[in-house]
Amino acid sequence: MTTMNSTPPRESPLGPQDLDEAAAVLSDLRDRLRAEIADARKTESAVRGDCVLDAADAGATTLAIEELHTRADAATALLERTLAALTRIQDGTFGTCATCGAPIGRERVLAVPHAERCVACTERQSRA
Question: Looking at 38, 63, 100, 111, which residue binds Zn ion (CB under 5 A)?
Answer: 100
Strand residues in the chain grouped as ranges (E): none
Report helix, strand or coil for 6. Answer: coil
Name the CA dihedral angle for 19, 104, 93, 82, rounded to a multiple of 10 degrees. Answer: 70
Q: How far is the CB of 99 from Zn ion (least distance, A)?
A: 5
Name residues whose C-beta falls within 8 Å of residue 81's C-beta, 6 or more positions apart in sequence.
Answer: 114, 116
Q: How far is the CB of 105 from Zn ion (least distance, A)?
A: 10
Name the CA dihedral angle for 18, 12, 102, 30, rounded to a multiple of 10 degrees. Answer: -40
Question: Looking at 19, 33, 89, 97, which residue binds Zn ion (CB under 5 A)?
Answer: 97
Under the criterion CB under 5 A, does residue 121 sit at the interface with Zn ion? yes
Footprint of Zn ion on residues 32-91 (CB under 5 A)?
none
Under the criterion CB under 5 A, does residue 115 sit at the interface with Zn ion? no
Under the criterion CB under 5 A, does residue 111 sit at the interface with Zn ion? no
Number of residues that bind Zn ion (CB under 5 A): 5
Q: Output 79 or 118, the one with its CB closest to Zn ion.
A: 118
